[in-house]
Structure 1
Amino acid sequence: METSTSKSPGATPVWGILALLTVGLLISFIDRTSLSSALADKNFVAEFALTSVDRGWLNSAFFWSYGLMQLPMGWVVDRYGVKWPYAICFFLWCLATALTGMVTALAGLILMRLIVGAAEAIVIPASYRWIGNNMGENHKGLAAGILSMGGKFGPAIGAPIAAWLIVSYSWKLMFVATGLLGLMWLLPWLMLARNDLPGKTELALSKTRASSVSLGSILKSPVIWGAMINNFCYGYFTFYCMTWMPAYLVEQRGLSLGKSGLYTFFSFAGIAIVATAAGWLADRIIERGRDAVFVRKAFVIAGFIGGSTVLLGAHATTLEGALFWNVCSLTLLGLATANNLALCKLTLIPRQAIGLATGVQQLATSLAGGVSASLSGWLLHVSGSYDLPMKVIVIFLLIGATNTAILLRPKWSPKVAAA
């Protein structure tokens, strides 16, 4: 486990590449959540004759291929670097997003979502592999917070833009525009990112280092299982917000599609800002000599408990109260965001195991997305209300808080052999 400052980030190249990774993550979330706005559009639903259960399964299609490809993508970045694997996958998911606007059958929609999910599986293993190789412990919280802003501002920006494009033009143009415009990111990435595709000597060395970490040693670690539980519980809430929040605001709270996009923006902007601030604050406390694991765990537990206020929104009798707690609960979850990422993917993980460990953990994140989208659709179908899906969210958040206190301990980190 690497807890000391291994590298002091330089002003321009390190933080500049981190900024590019953040924007790449932002684009990935815009493309993965654009479907949620379409599913709140009556014309889109009518064209494909979708039920609430159908909408849940369509929302979840992305997460099944996304989860399936996590381990292979972790393996790829551990051995072949970040720059070129990321660039190739980025091109594929942007193209698939654009093609979504051209399909005419439900099967075509599902196929495009599966391609987007498989290609986007590179993002998190690659990003945390890069952070682990370039950031020390006193910068990991801030780095994770900055990166997480991409995952939160993606739906925050994407939801109102997608809603505007649908209302002003059509759902078809929305998919084409969001997919093709994202490709502009590739140019600065290819120009600025260091070419870390290894030659024969470097490839042999990376294989030797990677061989010091086995999947068995990863899966034997209680920290990994604790991290997977945390990722699932955290992801269940955030993916519910990404997939069902626009429909909830339109169908149960009576907002227009345009206004629902605006409140989705407030919710995800709030969690992004708090996540970065909490990551930075934890870094400063750690820099003053406090135990890194204890500090980050405290923030994570506070975030899970704060997110549980979503139940107050479910039971609010006024629109204003419902909107307030809808925004506040996701914002408070930001206390956990960066510190959970830093704790589970960096602080408690040996550097040579980051790619594989992150891939394993992302399986739980993907499962959370699939289960949240489909289970929430089924719960909505059987109850006729969004109250029951929100109660299930609270159960998972409280499980996450308890799990953080019990399983995430340094003595249970993955063991690696000498390379």
Structure 2
Amino acid sequence: METIRERRWLVVVLLALGLMISFVDRTSLSSALADRAFIREFGLNSIERGWLNSAFFWSYGLVQMPMGWLVDRYGVKWPYTICFTLWCGAAAATGMVGTLWALILMRLLIGVAEGVVVPATYRYLANNFAESEKGTALGIFSIGGKMGPALGAPIGAWIIVHHSWQAMFIATGLAGLVWLWPWLTQVKNDFPSQQELAERVQRAASVPLRNLLASPVVWGGLLNNFCYAYFNFYCMTWMPAYLVEQRGLSLEKSGLYTFFSFAGIAVVAALAGWAADRLIARGRDAVMVRKTFIVAGFIGATTVLLGAYAQTLEMALFWNVASLSLLGLVTANNLALCKLTLIPKPAVGLNTGLQQVATSLAGGVSASLSGWLLHTSGSYETPMKAIFIFLLLGAASTIILFRRQWAPKISG
């Protein structure tokens, strides 16, 4: 029994590392877009930078539900393996292109391949973890999503400064392939037999898409994931440029402060998930505990506006780090609540894919809308006002829509 427990948590660590690599590859572009040589080479304005930043999210969102369907039926190991290899290859190939349209194509390909990451992870957690363990598991998993940009930003900036943007894409893309060896050797094959596949199809059909769309809980999750991701992806796509262009930092220093922000949210996310699990294990209501953490995180993150209007560089950097770190109170608890706690087990993959559509839509809207707001206003304060509004909407959605009686129904 102990061996099984150890293997479960090992797989969670591998899933977190896979997520980290995916975020390094999806956010490496943000370092390039803060590099004047890269901008000159492709002749980019702020709106075109927004298009480039958003391209990944449109294809990523398009495949989320198909990927949820795929892992519900065919397991986690082999779909993940194939997609992982494809996105690392596309990330490395980005360093070899010479036109804007080729750049956009590579971003679209990365988005398609990375679409497997989250649905596969939630399928694995639903199959292997109890309610009082999910917050901790998701806290560990979410560290990967935060440490990806935290490490990717300074490493990417360093490679660009000391070598070139081409070398940065090639190096970060190919380095991730090292992860495949422990994944292939340590994770058991869960590809189903014909009999198992028939059983999985029958189970998945017990909670059809119409049942999900009829649930206020699912719509609350869509709102929450959009609002959370809007701020999170703004920081991934525009933070280096903001620190360079509005706060006057060098590209290398902008990477360092991007690291602090994402390291902060990673630590808070892990601690908040663990703390919620401990409260639930002591008999507290899981829904109420997780809702409390989520609302506190959304409200705490609104301090981003204090950074926007700060008069000194020191205070701007402080609130830049603090606001994103406080959003970590939302991370694991929101993931558990809207994708596991209130969702019937047979529908976890499909619902996760549906929720990820909102997440990816937020990434596309955040990257492109922020670029447009910056272009029209000439200041980063306007994009941050939009973030403030979405954070308040997320808090309201959590309070109103997450109720047990509104969870999706299993068809008889």
Is this a same-fold pair by TM over 0.5?
yes
Q: Percent identity?
A: 68
Deviation of 1:10 (Å): 4.1
Q: Write the mapping of 1:156-235 to structure 2, written as runs, cut at 5 A.
A: 156-235=150-229
Picking from 364, 376, 382, the partner of 2:358 is 364
Deviations 1:215-238 (A, max 9, x none): 111111111110000000000000
8 Å CA contact 1:9–1:135 kept in 2: the answer is: no
Please, which of 313, 320, 326 is the counterpart of residue 319 of structure 1? 313
Instruction: Choose from 70, 83, 95 the match for 1:76.
Output: 70
Q: What do residues 12-56 of structure 1 show as CA deviations (whole Å, max 9, x unaligned)?
A: 200000000000000000000000000000010000000000000
8 A contact 1:270–1:331 mirrored in 2: yes
Q: Please, which of 123, 134, 146 is the counterpart of residue 128 of structure 2?
A: 134
Q: In structure 1, how many angstroms separate the alpha carbons of the residues matched to 2:124 and 2:3?
A: 12
- Is 1:291 aligned to 2:282, yes or no? no
Taking a change above 3 Å as real, the CA distance of residues 245 and 124 of structure 1, as seen in their structure-2 partners, is same
Equivalent positions of 1:339-418 (< 5 A) are: 339-418=333-412
Q: Deviations over 1:74-111 (max 9, x none)?
A: 00000000000000000000000000000011110000
In the aligned structure 2, how far is the partner of 1:145 from the partner of 1:204? 33
Deviations 1:374-408 (A, max 9, x none): 00000000000000000110000000001100001
- Note if 1:304 corresponds to 2:298: yes
1:213-292 pair list within 5 angstroms: 213-292=207-286
In 2, are the aligned partners of 1:9 and 1:134 still within 8 Å (CA)?
no
SS in 2 for 1:12: helix
Distance, in Å, in 1 between the alignment partners of 2:166 and 2:211 is: 47
Gaps of 5+ in 2: none
SS at match of 1:101: helix
The partner residue of 1:96 within 78, 90, 114 is 90
Judge conservation of contact 1:222–1:412 (CA < 8 Å) in 2: yes
- Whole-Å Cα distance in 2 between the matches of residues 118 and 282 of structure 1? 33
Give the CA deviation at 1:204: 1.0
**1:16 matched to 2:10:** yes
Q: Work out whether 1:42 is the aligned partner of 2:47.
A: no
Deviation at 1:416, TM superposition (A): 1.5
Q: Which amino acid aligns with 1:321?
A: M
1:213 CA displacement: 1.8
Determine the C-alpha separation between the residues in 2 that align with 1:402 and 1:10.
40
- Residue pairs, 1:145-160, within 5 angstroms: 145-160=139-154
Q: CA deviation at 1:9?
A: 9.3
Matching residue's letter, 2:124:
W
**Aligned mates of 2:403, 2:84 — CA distance in 1:** 35
Separation in 1 of the partners of 2:389 and 2:220? 16
- Give the TM-score of the pair, scaled to structure 2: 0.99
**How far apart, in 1, do the equivalents of 2:90 and 2:359 lie?**
22
* 1:115 pairs with 2:101: no
Q: TM-score, normalised by structure 1?
A: 0.97
Mapped to 1, the partners of 2:4 and 2:189 lie a distance apart of 18
Inter-partner Cα distance in structure 1 for 2:43 and 2:55: 17
Which whole-Å CA distance do the structure 2 matches of 1:42 and 1:132 have between them?
A: 45
- Do residues 59 (structure 1) and 53 (structure 2) align? yes
Q: Which position in structure 2 is the counterpart of 1:3?
A: none
Contact 1:285 1:295 in 2 (8 A): yes
- Separation in 2, partners of 1:9, 1:107: 49
Q: How many residues align?
A: 412
CA distance in 1, matches of 2:296, 2:26: 28
CA distance in 2: counterparts of 1:417 and 1:149, whole angstroms: 36
TM-fit CA distance, 1:332 = 0.6
DSSP-derived class of the 1:198 partner: coil
For 1:377 and 1:73, locate their aligned partners in 2 and report how far apart those are by CA, in whole Å: 29
Tell me the distance in 2 between the aligned counterparts of 1:64 and 1:202: 33
1:186-227 Cα distance to aligned partner (Å, 9 max, x none): 111011111000011111111111111211111111111100
Deviation (angstroms), 1:134: 0.4
